Amino acid sequence: MSMFDLTGKVAVVTGGSRGIGRSICERMAEQGAKVIVSSRKLPACEEVVAGIKAKGGEAAAVAASISDKAQLENLVAQARKIYGRIDIMVCNAASNPYFGPLTGLKDEVFAKIMQNNVLSNLWLANMVCPEMAERKDGAFIIVSSIGALTASLHIAAYNISKAADLSLVKSLAAEWGKHNIRVNAIAPGLIKTDFAKALWDNPTIRASAENKAALKRIGDPDDIGGVAVFLASKAGAFVTAQMIVADGGVIGTGGE
C-alpha cells in the first residue's frame, strides 16, 4: 500500500470549491479519502463533488462560512452525520478584504481578518481534535502563506493573520501531539488562484514574483494539493508543528 494512501479516511476542507482548496479536495479523493467540500456557496461545492464522483471518488458538499461559528459547528456535525468521523481537517478558507498600507486599515476590518483567518481555525481545532484524540490519530492542516514570513506594503494585515496561524499550529501541535494528532501549516507562495488574482494578474507583481522564485514561475493549485496529501497521510506521520514552504524557492534563495 502506498504511504500516501488515504483510503478509509474522512477529510473536511474549508474553502474547498476553488483554487488551492479544490486541489486539496481532488488530490485527497484520488488517494481514497472521503471528502467534505465546504465553502460559502453550496453550488460551487457541489460542482467539485460532481467532478470527484465522476472520477470514482467519494465526496459531499456542506456550505459554511468561516466567519460564523454556528455554521462551522454545523459543518462538523454534518460531516460526522454523512461519513461518521473526521480524520483530516484542512483549514484553507481565508479572507483578505483590504489591499493597502496599515495606516489606512480600519479596526473592524483587521478584526474581521483575524477572526476569519485565525480564530476560525482555533474553533475548528477545538471541534475536531477531541474526536481524533479518542482514536489516537488525526491530521490538522492550516494553509498559511509565505506572507507570514515577509513584509508587505499591500497585504500586511493578511500577512499578520498568517503569521499568527504559524504560532497557532505550534501550540496546537504541542497540545494534541500526545494523542498522535499532527498539526502543520502549508505556506504557499504566489499561486494562480482567483483569491490571489489581484497579485498575479498584475504584470509587474507577477514578473517580480517569477524573478524571485528559483523555479522562475508562480505556482498552480496542484503544487499545494500534493503537499496536503503528504501531511495527511502515513508519509507525514512524523511531521508536526511544522510549516512547509511551497513557493518555488522564493524564501530559500532570497530571490537572487
pLDDT in tens, 81-118: 999 999 999 999 999 999 999 999 999 999 999 999 99
- pLDDT on residue 20: 97
With respect to residue 251, please indicate whether it lies within any of the assigned structural domains: no
With respect to residue 255, please indicate whether it lies within any of the assigned structural domains: no
With respect to residue 2, please indicate whether it lies within any of the assigned structural domains: no
pLDDT in tens, 134-149: 999 999 999 999 999 9
Residue 255 has pLDDT above 70, yes or no: no
Q: How many domains does the chain have?
A: 1
Q: Where is average pLDDT lowest: 31-45, 53-67, 242-256?
A: 242-256
Arithmetic mean of pLDDT over the chain? 96
With respect to residue 152, please indicate whether it lies within any of the assigned structural domains: yes
With respect to residue 86, please indicate whether it lies within any of the assigned structural domains: yes
With respect to residue 141, please indicate whether it lies within any of the assigned structural domains: yes
- pLDDT on residue 89: 99
* 8 A C-beta contact, residue 190 and residue 200: yes
pLDDT in tens, 61-71: 999 999 999 99
Q: How many residues does the chain have?
A: 256
Give the global pTM.
Answer: 0.96
Write out the catalytic residue numbers: 158
**Mind giving me the DSSP string for the chain?**
--TT--TT-EEEEETTTSHHHHHHHHHHHHTT-EEEEE-S-HHHHHHHHHHHHHTT-EEEE----TT-HHHHHHHHHHHHHHHS--SEEEE--------S-GGG--HHHHHHHHIIIIIHHHHHHHHHHHHHHHHT-EEEEEE--GGGGS--SSSHHHHHHHHHHHHHHHHHHHHHGGGTEEEEEEEE-SB-SSTTHHHHTSHHHHHHHHHHSTTSS-B-THHHHHHHHHHHSGGGTT--S-EEEESSSHHHHTT-
Please give the average per-residue pLDDT across 150-172, as a whole number: 96
Please give the average per-residue pLDDT across 167-183, as a whole number: 98
With respect to residue 252, please indicate whether it lies within any of the assigned structural domains: no
What's the grid cell of residue 61? 458538499
Residue 249 has pLDDT above 90, yes or no: yes
Please give the average per-residue pLDDT across 20-28, as a whole number: 98
Q: Three-state SS across 67-98?
A: CCHHHHHHHHHHHHHHHCCCCEEEECCCCCCC
pLDDT in tens, 5-16: 999 999 999 999
With respect to residue 143, please indicate whether it lies within any of the assigned structural domains: yes
Burial letters 55-88, b for 16+ CB under 10 A, else e: eebebbbbbbbbeeeebbeebbebbbeebebbbb
Write the CATH number for 154.
3.40.50.720
Q: Which domain holds residue 68?
A: 10-246
pLDDT tier at 35, thresholds 50, 70, 90:
very high
Residue 244 has pLDDT above 90, yes or no: yes
Residue 256 has pLDDT above 60, yes or no: no
pLDDT in tens, 198-214: 778 889 889 988 999 99
